[in-house]
């Protein structure tokens, strides 16, 4: 502040002295030139400070939603969010001070009557400086409106009437308003560039030009070049970013949070808490969940350390197995009710069994046959099928995304606590037939080259999962995905569109399918993986945990799928009969690596009795 006051005093004294002169000479013009540049530097510095405070606001917002479930702190004047806004409002006055100072300089230099610089240039510069001072005031007004918008939003959240719809709509409106402000700042940025150009143009015509200004110009150019080089090194985008003097932010002011306060969450009426010792579950088909097998499966869970069921809600054919109560006609058309959902939830709640809804996403033969435009077709117009006679729907299409998200949302509303996506990918080997099949690229129409195709497939799958996570947020459920264990080993399987690290950042749980039978001979440094269940799990986790360490706080829970079936199809000498000992060995390997969640897979839902399901 002392520096600011000193600068204002210096400028004021200079103006008072110069106003006493009847004319403005070349030396006076050089001084005015320097002083205008100083005001511009102040403007740039203030803008940078505001941008940093805007980023702070987002961090404070995310922390608030995690730490204050009822948002009670927003009712206090000392809430960090409100202090942030009030501070910027107080600092906003400085824009007007800079506009006033630049206006005075513009009026002053218009009185120049020397011969070194043309009248036309002086008049044009003076007019440009005056216009810029008005633009600063206009931007100040726009920024104040944005601050008022922010205060209004947080004041609404502090009321007892605040709900999820208002929370989301207000968040969207606030971010739209903020991006409008950035668009206005971008115009101010262009004017600022022109004003600086005019200063340089005048300065170049002044004999014995102010060396300090030239030096500052050189230093500024050097810093700018260094910053551009640094940005170029870290920027992975092939497109060059436009050059700006002011900070133009393209990201939202407030990001969508990863969790919400309880008051904004949908209440399904089903009260089944997350298991204290972690999820230890079994796979259950719709036939089992809605049939006689359910009783024995509940008994298995009640007499062991198992505590969860993964239940088919949208199965491998595309059948929706329960009445979801959806308004979507296509969802209802694909419903083949195999489960009485009220009866199922009553059983699960009574026995404290954690419910996970398995949704097979992009492998969907039923939907592909009824909606070929949503699938992949061959030259004869027929929907493509793999060797098992299965068809897939197209992960590029947002219509396909929305269909599956609707199933997920309705399952969450029924009381499922975890939505598990399986087959969240393109068909296996898709990279070998991508050019021969016909299909829409949707919003990924620029996908034209193979190397780009792989990137686009990864993006499509990841962005679908991200959208799912946002859509499920108000229902208070976790989102999990099933991935091949091999995806962690290679990190990206772009042929099918799965990037293990990218997907891991978007979900709450990763369930890698690490069945010993699914690894080829020699994989994971094991000659015959199916014969060594403990070593397979142990060696795999070393790879997965390395990725999770890199992700830090963004890492999800690890809840792998384990094998409780015999893979005789591997041939004599390459497989063993799986039972209690082999299941126990896999669970023990998890525990030895600090992982205490898992899911058991047996397609027929017949699980080995006598296994040890929990290790301390």
Shortest CA distance to 533 belongs to which of 583, 597, 477, 483? Answer: 583
Which whole-number Å values give the CA distances from 206 to 120, 214, 255, 337, 417, in the listed order? 15, 12, 50, 86, 73
* Dihedral angle computed from the Cα positions of residues 476, 258, 546 and 560, in that order, rounded to the nearest 10 degrees: 20
- Inform me whether the pLDDT recorded for 255 exceeds 60: yes
pLDDT, tens only, 513-548 = 999 999 999 999 999 999 999 999 999 999 999 999
Q: Which residues contact 528 (CB under 8 A, 6 or more apart)?
A: 521, 573, 574
Task: Look at residues 576, 584, 573, 574 and name the one whose alpha carbon lies nearest to residue 607.
Answer: 584
Show contacts of 530-536: CB within 8 Å, 24+ apart.
530/567, 530/570, 530/574, 530/575, 530/576, 531/574, 531/575, 531/576, 533/563, 533/578, 533/582, 533/583, 533/585, 533/586, 533/589, 534/585, 534/586, 534/588, 534/589, 535/589, 536/586, 536/589
Task: Round to whole Å and give the CA distance between 234 and 241.
Answer: 12
φ, ψ dihedrals at 530, nearest 5°: -65, -20
Query: Among 39-43, 242-246, 414-418, which is the least confidently predicted range?
Result: 242-246
**Rounded Cα–Cα distance for residues 79 and 83 (Å):** 6
Half-sphere exposure (CA, 13 Å, Cβ side) for 347? 20
CB atoms within 10 A of CB 242: 9
Under the banding of pLDDT at 50, 70 and 90, the label for residue 214 is: low
pLDDT digits (tens, 9 = 90+) for 150-171: 999 999 988 888 888 888 889 9
Question: Cβ–Cβ contacts within 10 Å for residue 291, how many?
Answer: 12
What tokens appear for 533 in the block? Answer: 């269940």
The pTM score is 0.72
Across the range 241-245, mean pLDDT stands at 72
Ranges of beta strands (E only) in 328-394 are 354-360
At residue 203, φ and ψ (nearest 5 deg) are -60, -35
Q: Could you give the CA distance from residue 309 to residue 351 in angstroms, rounded to a whole number?
A: 11
Mean of all residue pLDDT scores within the chain:
88
Q: Is the pLDDT score of 447 beyond 60?
A: no
Using pLDDT thresholds of 50, 70 and 90, give the confidence band for residue 7. very low
CA 17 to chain CA centroid, nearest Å: 57
CA distances from 609 to 244, 488, 581, 591, 604 (A): 67, 31, 10, 20, 15
Beta carbons of 292 and 286 less than 8 angstroms apart: no
Distance CA 158, CA 265 (A): 16
Asked if pLDDT for residue 418 goes beyond 90, the answer is yes
Q: Is 607 left (phi over 0), alpha (psi -120 to 50) or beta?
A: beta
Q: How confident is the model at residue 452 (pLDDT cuts 50, 70, 90)?
A: low
Residues in the chain: 616
pLDDT of 168-211, one tens digit each? 889 999 999 999 999 999 999 999 999 998 888 888 888 744 45
Q: In this structure, what DSSP letter does residue 291 have?
A: S
Conformational region of residue 555, where left means phi above 0, alpha means psi within -120 to 50, and beta covers everything else: beta
Contacts of 502 (CB under 8 A, 6+ apart): 458, 462
Q: Which residues lie closer than 8 Å to 615 by C-beta, 6 or more apart?
A: 587, 588, 591, 592, 596
Residues whose CB falls within 8 Å of the CB of residue 180, separated by 6 or more in sequence, listed in order: none
Under 8 Å between Cβ of 412 and 268: yes
At residue 435's C-alpha, the angle toward residues 433 and 440, to 5°, is 105
pLDDT surpassing 90 at residue 556:
yes
Q: Residue by residue, what is the 3-state secondary structure of 343-358?
A: HHHHHHHHCCCEEEEE
Confidence of residue 369 (pLDDT cuts 50, 70, 90): very high
The bridge status of strand 557-558 relative to strand 509-513 is parallel
Q: Which pLDDT score is estimated for 151?
A: 93
Of 500, 495, 600, which Cα lies nearest the Cα of 540?
500
**Token digits of residue 598:** 């898992």
| Cβ partners under 8 Å of residue 205, min gap 6 | 116, 117, 121
Per-residue confidence band for 237, with pLDDT thresholds at 50, 70 and 90: very low
Question: Could you give phi then psi for residue 516, rounded to 5 degrees?
Answer: -55, -30
Q: What is the dihedral of CA 474, 476, 482, 483, to 10 degrees?
A: 70
Helix, coil or strand: residue 57: helix
Query: According to the model, what pLDDT value does residue 236 have?
Result: 45
- Phi/psi class of residue 235: alpha, beta or left (left: φ > 0; alpha: ψ in -120 to 50)? beta
Residue 19 clears pLDDT 50, i.e. is over it: no
Above 70 in pLDDT, residue 12? no
For strand 498-499 and strand 492-493, is the pairing parallel, antiparallel, or unpaired? antiparallel
Helices (H), 206-290: 211-234, 286-289
* Residue 284 CA, distance from chain mean position: 32
Report the C-alpha gap between 612 and 589 in whole angstroms.
12
């Amino acid at each position: 502040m002392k520096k600011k006051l000193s600068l204002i005093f210096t400028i004021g004294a200079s103006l008072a002295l110069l106003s006493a002169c009847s004319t403005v000479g070349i030396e006076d013009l050089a001084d005015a030139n320097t002083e205008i540049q100083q005001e511009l530097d102040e403007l740039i510095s203030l803008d940078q400070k505001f941008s940093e405070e805007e980023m702070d606001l987002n961090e404070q917002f995310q922390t608030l939603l995690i730490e204050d479930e009822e948002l009670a702190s927003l009712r206090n004047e000392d809430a960090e969010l409100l202090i942030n806004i009030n501070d910027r409002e107080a600092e906003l006055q400085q824009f007007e001070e800079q506009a006033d100072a630049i206006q005075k300089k513009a009026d002053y230099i218009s009185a120049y009557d020397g011969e070194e610089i043309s009248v036309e240039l002086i008049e044009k510069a003076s007019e440009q400086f005056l216009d810029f001072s008005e633009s600063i005031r206009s931007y100040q007004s726009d920024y104040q409106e944005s601050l008022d918008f922010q205060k209004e939003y947080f004041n609404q959240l502090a009321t007892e009437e605040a709900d999820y719809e208002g929370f989301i709509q207000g968040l969207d409106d606030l971010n739209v308003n903020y991006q409008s402000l950035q668009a206005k700042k971008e115009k101010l940025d262009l004017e600022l560039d022109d004003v600086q150009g005019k200063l340089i143009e005048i300065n170049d015509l002044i004999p014995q030009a102010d060396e300090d200004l030239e030096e500052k110009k050189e230093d500024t150019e050097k810093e700018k070049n260094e910053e551009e080089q640094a940005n170029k090194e870290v920027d992975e985008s092939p497109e060059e970013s436009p050059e700006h003097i002011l900070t133009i932010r393209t990201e939202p002011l407030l990001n969508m949070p990863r969790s919400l306060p309880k008051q904004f969450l949908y209440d399904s009426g089903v009260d089944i808490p997350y298991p204290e010792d972690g999820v230890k579950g079994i796979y259950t088909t719709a036939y089992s969940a809605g049939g006689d097998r359910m009783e024995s499966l509940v008994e298995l869970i009640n007499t062991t350390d198992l505590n969860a069921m993964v239940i088919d809600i949208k199965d491998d054919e595309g059948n929706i197995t329960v009445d979801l109560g959806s308004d979507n006609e296509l969802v209802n058309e694909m419903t083949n009710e195999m489960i009485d959902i009220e009866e199922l939830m009553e059983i699960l709640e009574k026995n404290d069994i954690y419910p996970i809804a398995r949704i097979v996403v992009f492998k969907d033969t039923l939907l592909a046959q009824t909606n070929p435009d949503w699938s992949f077709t061959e030259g004869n117009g027929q929907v493509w099928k793999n060797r098992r006679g299965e068809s897939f729907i197209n992960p590029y299409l947002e219509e396909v995304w929305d269909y599956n998200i609707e199933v997920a949302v309705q399952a969450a509303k029924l009381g499922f606590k975890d939505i598990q996506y399986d087959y969240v990918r393109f068909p296996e080997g898709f990279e070998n037939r991508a050019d021969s099949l016909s299909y829409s690229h949707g919003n990924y129409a620029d996908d034209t080259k193979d190397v780009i195709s792989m990137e686009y497939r990864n993006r499509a799958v990841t962005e679908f999962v991200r959208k799912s996570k946002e859509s499920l947020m108000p229902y208070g459920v976790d989102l999990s995905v099933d991935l091949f264990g091999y995806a962690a080993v290679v990190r990206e399987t772009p042929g099918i569109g799965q990037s293990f690290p990218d997907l891991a950042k978007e979900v709450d749980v990763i369930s890698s399918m690490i069945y010993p039978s699914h690894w080829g001979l020699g994989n994971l440094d094991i000659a015959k993986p199916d014969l060594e269940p403990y070593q397979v799990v142990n060696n795999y986790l070393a790879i997965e945990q390395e990725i999770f360490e890199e992700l830090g706080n963004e890492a999800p829970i690890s809840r792998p799928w384990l094998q409780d079936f015999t893979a005789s199809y591997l041939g004599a000498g390459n497989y063993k009969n799986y039972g209690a000992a082999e299941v126990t060995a896999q669970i023990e390997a998890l525990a030895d690596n600090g992982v205490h969640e898992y899911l058991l897979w047996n397609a027929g839902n017949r699980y080995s009795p006598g296994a040890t399901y929990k290790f301390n």
